[in-house]
Structure formats: C-alpha cells, structure tokens
Structure 1
Amino acid sequence: MKRCVLFMLFAIIISTMKVTVVFGEDYNRLVSPHMFSDVDGVKFKFNTQVEVDKYTNELKRVFNSFNNCGDIKVRSEKGIKNILLVGADKDEYNFSRSDTMMLMTVNSKKNTIKLTSIMRDTYVYIKGHGYEKINHSYAYGGIKLLKDTIQNNFKVKIDNYAIVDFEGFASIVEVFDGVEMEITDEEKEVIEKYYGEIDRTEDEGYNLNGEQALYYCRIRAIGQGSYGRVERQKKFLKQLLKQAQNIELTKIPKFITEVYKYTSTDMGLIDTVKIGVDFLQGAGNELEQYRIPLDDYSEGVMVSKQKGWVIKIDRRKTIEYLHEKIFE
C-alpha cells in the first residue's frame, strides 16, 4: 500500500512539473550497491518505470477527461427540441460563414421558447482543425460540422437546423413594413451614415427598414463590440417576433414565401407549422433569452496573429449553465 502511495505521489509530481525521468544504464549505481545486485537493479528499474507509466497515464486520462468534459454526455430530453438557427453570410469571394448562431429551444411540455446566442468568437475544438473560433466550423464543413462542433463542445443534442441567408434577411423584414426599435443616438448615427435616414414612429421610436435592420444586427464598431452586437440581435429578434404575433392575415402568405425562399432547413412542413402555432398560441409571449459564453467564465484573449482575438471559456461551467437553462 505504501509503495502504491509513493508511486502515485511520484507520478503526480512528474505530471505537474512535466519532468522527464530517464533511467540510464548505470541506474543501479544511484542506489546503494549493498542493496541491489546488478540483476535486481535492472529489475527494480523496470518495475519502477512500469508503475510510473501506469499512474502517469491514468492521471493524464482523468485530467483530460475533466478538461475535455468527456465525462458529460450529450443531453437531450423528450418534449424538448433544440433547433440551431444560423445567419449565414458570403463575402466578396462567395465564401460562406456563420455570422450569427442561436439555439432555439422549443419546450412542448411547458409551451415555452428560449433563445441562446452563441458568440462567433468562442474558442472551441473543431474536429479535424483543432481549436478555432466556433464560426470557422461552418466555413470548414458547413452545417454538419457546425452542429457536431456545438454538440461536442456544449453537450446539447441539436435536433434540427435552419439557415437564413442574410441576402434575404432584408426582404423578410420588409414584409412587416420595417421593425419598430428603440435605438441609441450612436446607433442611429452609424446606421444613417450608410443606409439613409431612419423613419420615426408615432411614439418617437424608430422604424428600421430591411437594410437598416440587417446593419443594426451586425454593428460591432461601437459600444461593446461583439458583446454589444449579440445584445442588439437579441433585442431585435424579440421585437420582430412580437410583431410576427400581430401580423395581418393578408401578409402571412408573403411572409411564408419570403422565409422559405431564403431559408434552408431539415425540418418538415408539419414540424415547422407546429412550432409556428405554438408560438402564436403564447409560447413566445415570455421569450427567454440567454448568451454564451458567460462573462464570469470566459476571457477575451489574443491567441496568435493568425487566429486573432478569441473568447476562451470554462467549458464545464458553460455546459452546466446551458443544461440548466435549456432543460429546467
């Protein structure tokens, strides 16, 4: 027993300090020549190395499991559907990326809908590419790799997806004749700089047209950068959904046409309609919105010149938080 404890302590010290132990040919000379013969010395050397390797490998396995959250299984529950919403964009070279990512959780047991925004700069492991910003996974392998990346890193099963091309975002907004928003003077100034004067509403708010609304959701140059951008997207989406609940019946066919025109999804028509009905029947009245990473368990850092600024996270805390909010 004492021998096991000694070897365990030895292995911990080696793992912690990253010391490489080398047993040379004259190992038995390191101990008293009166204690071991040459044969016993070699035997002792071999047995010791085997024990050290055994406990070191076990410690590495445990530590890696903890750090990679390998002990946490991908979670799903009957009656709770998680739909990955992706706002996709293409640059001048027709290179597609996931500019916006949200998890829409539809709970048919409680008739609730929750939205969780995932920041695009979140630093995660992408299979086949190592650690990168999470939005790179869409560029590398499309929606399949993005789904796998989210499931593997956050341990939440993605049941379905819906990809909205930003090219059609403005057209969808125009169906509502714009979206009424309260915006800051700074936001107003930067929007009008590129997309013209914003119309005022009767209650002294603002009505953003399609292009203005799209730009509002993508602003990062002012305020809190990427963090402020996510908050604007949440604020905008909440208002858009509120207006959707009060949409005129005559506009519904055009709305459906525009949505399907610019949306790619693996959901069938029946499932899509059911979610829409649940929403209109009250599931969207108290829309709960969350965001990951959490401020208390993440840190923005410059990783390298190539990877740039990323948000490193405490994965375990993030997973625990996400599971609590989605499955409560």
Structure 2
Amino acid sequence: MRKDTENEMEQIQKGLERFLEREVDGVREDSRSEDEEELWEADAEDGEEESDFFTEDEEEDSFREEEDFSQEDEEEVPVEKKKISRREAEDRSMGRRREQKEENQSGRTGKKKKHSGLKKFLIFILILLVIFFGGLYLAVGVVYDQMNYEQNESVSGPLKENGVTSVLLIGSDSRTSGTEGRSDAMILITISDRTKTVHMTSLLRDMYVEIPGYEGNRLNAAYAYGGPELLMETINQNLGTEVYHYAVVNFEAFANLVDAVGGVELELTNEEVQWVNAYLNEYNELRGMPMETDYLDTSLSGNIHLNGAQALAYCRNRYIGTDFARTQRQRNVLSAVMKKLPGALITNPGGLINGLFPNLTTNLTQGECMRLAMMAGKLLTYDIVQDSLPLDGTYSNATIREMSVLQVDFDQNRAYIRKEIYGEE
C-alpha cells in the first residue's frame, strides 16, 4: 500500500547521495590538479637550479683560461677556485621553492584553495540536510504508522495545485477510528504560497448541492452516501475547488488534540457555558465517565481555559445562533490549537502522536505527509484567514422534500474561491 511512497523517498535519497558523490569527486579532482601543478613547478625549479649549477662551473673554466692566456709571460700565480657543491645548490633550490610557494599562496593557488574550501562547506551543509531529511523521514514514518490510511478509489489529484495546497478536514461523530458516522464539521484548509496565507473555510452542511450519482441533497449527505471521496467530488463540482486529500478525525481525536497542546483559551458567553455542560452529558456517557465530569462553573463568562472535552462540547453547540455561529466556534478552536501546536511538538510529541493519530483517517501518503511536515516552518509566518461558505448574501433559506436547506448562488461562491484562494482574476 505504501510501496509507491517508499520508492519516491528512496529516489530522493539516492539523488542526494549521487549529488554528494559528484561534489566529493570534484574536490578530489581539484586537490589532485593543485598537487600536480605544484609538483610540476617544483620540477621546473629543479631544472633551473641544475642549469645554474653547471653554468657556474663553465664560467670558472672560462675564467681560468682567460687568466692563463693573459699571464702566460708572467709568473704563474695560483688561482683559488670557487666551487658550488650539489648539496649547496639543492639547499638554494629548496629556499627558492619555499619563497615561490609563499608567493603562490597569495596568488593563483590561493584562489584554488578558497574555491576548494567553499565546496567543502557546501558538502558539509548537504550532509546536514541528508541527516535532517533522514531524521524527518523516520519521524514522519513513526507518526504515519499510527494513522489509518485509506487509498483513493475514485478521486485522485495533486496535493498542490496552482501554488495552493489543499486538505479537507472532516469532523465525524463516529465512535471509533475510520470514516463511518455523520459529518459533523467540514473545513477546507488551503495554503497559498502566493499570498502566504492559510485559509480555514468552513462549509455549511445544510447547503443544497448536486451529488454525483445521487439526487440533490444537503452537503453532509454526500459523506453519508460515499464517504470522504464522494464528499470531495461533490465540493469540487459545486464550488470549483481542487481538493483531493482529506483527514477525518472523530470526537476522541479532537479532544485529545486540544489536551495535547495544553488546552485553549476562548471567549465564552454565559449561555455558551451552560450549553458546554449540556453537551458534556452526552460525551461523558460515551466515554463512561460520571455525568458532571469536566463541568464548567455556571457563573463563568469571558476568557475561559477549556480542556479537550470542554472544547469539543463548545464546538458541537448548534442551539446558539445559526449554523454559521457553530462553524465559527469550530474555527476558533482550530485556530487556537494551530497557534499552540509548534510548542506542543517540542514539549509533548508523545501526547500528539498517541492521542491524535490513532483516531485519524487519511488518504495522504507518507511522502505527502513528509512534504507537509517540511512546510511547518514557513507556515509559522503565514497569516491565518477564517471564512465560511456560502458567502453572506449568496443564499436563501428553503424547504426541499421536508428538509431545511440553504439554496446557494454557486456562481458567486465559485468566483470568490477562484480569486481569493487560487489567485485568479
């Protein structure tokens, strides 16, 4: 199932190794060329010294002949010969060679050494990158093994399209891992390199949409009919998005994620506090806890610290305001979690891995998870934009087949998505 991903990572690793080998060979070649050139220069200097040595002897012989010729009628005077031994000539040659080498170090040879040093530095950086990516790959592998992977059957496409990375986050009320159950929340996460923004766009489940292979219905019916793939196909067809990857989290995963980052601080009205306690009744029953576990003080309001169970109850509240208000609460929690996530990755990685990922189902491959992990650093500098669809003024309330639905002007919403998310004019 993961063979394609493993092959992809092996190709990346082999490519890095080949590049590293080429760079090392290049440094060796430069080193050989430098040594050969110095040896050639040394040989040339030896030749010059030997030539100088024998020239002095010849000069001495010539001098003696001239002396003998000019003083042939005079009294013969012994001439003291000045001879240079080969040992002395070699010593002189070594001295001149050292001087020449010192000059070369500040000239052409110095440039070669500087170039060679730069290559060694680049190779050092490359080795660090190989170690980093190898460690990151192992870390992603550990996390990935905790997830529930589902291979695409009918919907496929790139993770990144037109400079935008898209993942559909689905909150399911299923009691165990997997994609069974109802779609309780749908948030389209889009990361734009062009605008350096992370869009969190809530999709209202009551939108009346055309579902491929079925009659028109609410958006969340697509999930009930055909799971995440049919839901993505429906969203792409009606809203003009380009999303082919999803992550489904259940109640337990959501609560564990909030707990793993240390909880979240949110503004709550006193009415919202009352409803948090009401929703906790159902959740406590599901997890076999006493009825009043995690109850909030009913007199509270304002900035309140929520743990995982309390944040989940806060998000599920559908009795205060419209569905727009409910999706806004979901985005509030998600935004607060994203801000605390980098710190939790350092201080509590085990809590994230063990609490979230066993309760997460996705069609992202290990290679795609690797690419998302590599984006984490730059995402800290991106702006987070919260939004919801349909846009205000582009829908009306209606009743179809005894269902309360939102009839949407999809042309206006598609135009908004293509411009704001995909950068089209």
TM-score over 0.5 (shorter chain): yes
Amino acid of the structure 2 residue aligned with 1:102: I
Q: CA deviation at 1:251?
A: 0.3
RMSD after superposition: 2.6
1:264 to 358, 361, 366: 361
Alpha-carbon deviations, 1:15-54, whole Å to 9, x = none?
xxxxxxxxxxxxxxxxxxxxxxxxxxxxxxxxxxxxxxxx
More deviation in 315-324 or 267-276? 267-276
Q: CA deviation at 1:119?
A: 0.4
Q: 1:284, 1:89 → 2: CA distance?
A: 33
Q: CA deviation at 1:95?
A: 5.9
Q: Does residue 1:312 correspond to 2:425, yes or no?
A: no
Q: 1:168, 1:291 → 2: CA distance?
A: 23
Q: 2:250, 2:175 → 1: CA distance?
A: 12
- Matched with 1:104 is 189
Map residues 158-169 of structure 1 onto 2, 5 A cutoff. Answer: 158-169=243-254
Q: CA deviation at 1:291?
A: 0.8
Structure with more of its chain in helix, by fraction: 2
Structure with more of its chain in strand, by fraction: 1
Consecutive unaligned residues of structure 2, counting only runs of 5 or more, are 1-159, 281-293
Partner-residue secondary structure (3-state), 2:334: helix
Partner-residue secondary structure (3-state), 1:206: strand
- Matched with 2:393 is 296
Q: CA deviation at 1:238?
A: 0.9
- Matched with 2:312 is 214
Map residues 104-123 of structure 1 onto 2, 5 A cutoff. Answer: 104-123=189-208
Amino acid of the structure 1 residue aligned with 2:322: G
- Matched with 1:275 is 372
Q: 1:123, 1:241 → 2: CA distance?
A: 31
Q: 1:78, 1:256 → 2: CA distance?
A: 31
Q: Percent identity?
A: 31
- Matched with 2:88 is none
Q: CA deviation at 1:325?
A: 1.5
Q: CA deviation at 1:82?
A: 1.4
Q: 2:225, 2:304 → 1: CA distance?
A: 39
Residues 194 and 165 of structure 1: CA distance in aligned 2, closer, same or farther (over 3 Å): closer
Partner-residue secondary structure (3-state), 1:264: strand
Amino acid of the structure 2 residue aligned with 1:169: F
Amino acid of the structure 1 residue aligned with 2:406: I
Residues 321 and 110 of structure 1: CA distance in aligned 2, closer, same or farther (over 3 Å): closer
- Matched with 1:86 is 170
Partner-residue secondary structure (3-state), 1:191: helix
Q: Which runs of 4+ in 1 moved over 4 A?
A: none
Q: Does residue 1:239 correspond to 2:324, yes or no?
A: no
Amino acid of the structure 2 residue aligned with 1:157: E
Partner-residue secondary structure (3-state), 2:206: coil
Q: Does residue 1:148 correspond to 2:233, yes or no?
A: yes
Q: Does residue 1:228 correspond to 2:312, yes or no?
A: no
Amino acid of the structure 2 residue aligned with 1:90: S
Q: Does residue 1:327 correspond to 2:415, yes or no?
A: no
Partner-residue secondary structure (3-state), 1:327: coil
Structure number, greater radius of gyration = 2
Q: CA deviation at 1:152?
A: 0.9
Q: CA deviation at 1:132?
A: 0.3
Consecutive unaligned residues of structure 1, counting only runs of 5 or more, are 1-75
Q: How many residues are treated as equivalent by the alignment?
A: 247
1:182 to 267, 279, 286: 267
